[in-house]
Amino acid sequence: MRVYVLNGPNLGRLGTRQVDVYGVTSYADLVTICVDTGRELGLDVQVRQTDAEHELLGWLHEAADEGAAVVLNPAAWSHYSIAVRDACAMLRGPLVEVHISNIHAREEFRHHSVVSAVATGVICGLGVDGYRLALHHLAARFGAGTA
């Protein structure tokens, strides 16, 4: 089963950006974690990151056309991008929204995600472990691997 792990703006700066909030795991380490977890679970994991909203929209359209599952950290776009939300609503496969930090314990403007209403589930505040959990959920849901 193909799973796209898609990451929005500033996530390429993991390990150097606000380590007190996002931790010291680098983006390269996150990619390795996702790919290795996917391999263990029998998933074909493709990890991508962009700071360009139109690029994320294209990837979501690609996933929708394929019927693929998506693990999405929309980052700042969570809070205001109706375009990202609408692209997520087109997905035919499951969508797990992931946030490294607990968005509900941060600034008030981060408390609401426009994406959550169209997500299968939401994981937030568990650091990069949230990605592992999302992949385990998808593998269990589809009977893949050893989840």
| 34 part of a folded domain | yes
Structural domain contains residue 81: no
pLDDT tens sequence for the chain (147 residues): 999 999 999 999 887 877 676 666 899 999 999 999 999 999 999 999 999 999 999 999 999 999 999 999 999 999 999 999 999 999 999 999 999 988 887 778 777 899 999 999 999 999 999 999 999 999 999 886 544
26 annotated ligand-binding residue = no
Residue 22 appears among annotated catalytic residues:
yes
From 22, 27, 131, 137, active-site residue = 22
Report if residue 28 sits inside a domain. yes
Rounded to an integer, what distance in angstroms lies between the CA atom of residue 145 and that of residue 136? 9
Q: Where residue 28 sits, what CATH number does that domain have?
A: 3.40.50.9100
Contacts of 131 (CB under 8 A, 6+ apart): 5, 30, 33, 34, 37, 71, 73, 98
- Dihedral sign for Cα atoms in the order 98, 102, 108, 112: positive
**Are 5 and 32 in contact, with CB atoms under 8 Å apart?**
no
131 catalytic, yes or no? Answer: no
**Ligand-binding site membership of 82 (annotated):** no
Whole-model pTM above 0.85? yes
| Residue 10 is assigned to a ligand binding site | no
Is residue 22 in some structural domain?
yes
- Counted domains in the chain: 1
Strand ranges for the chain from DSSP E: 2-7, 44-49, 69-73, 95-99, 121-124
| Domain range for 46 | 2-75+86-122
What letters, b where the CB count within 10 A reaches 16 and e where it falls short, cover 122-146?
bbbebebebbbbbbbbbbebbebbe
Given 4, 27, 54, 99, the catalytic residue: 99
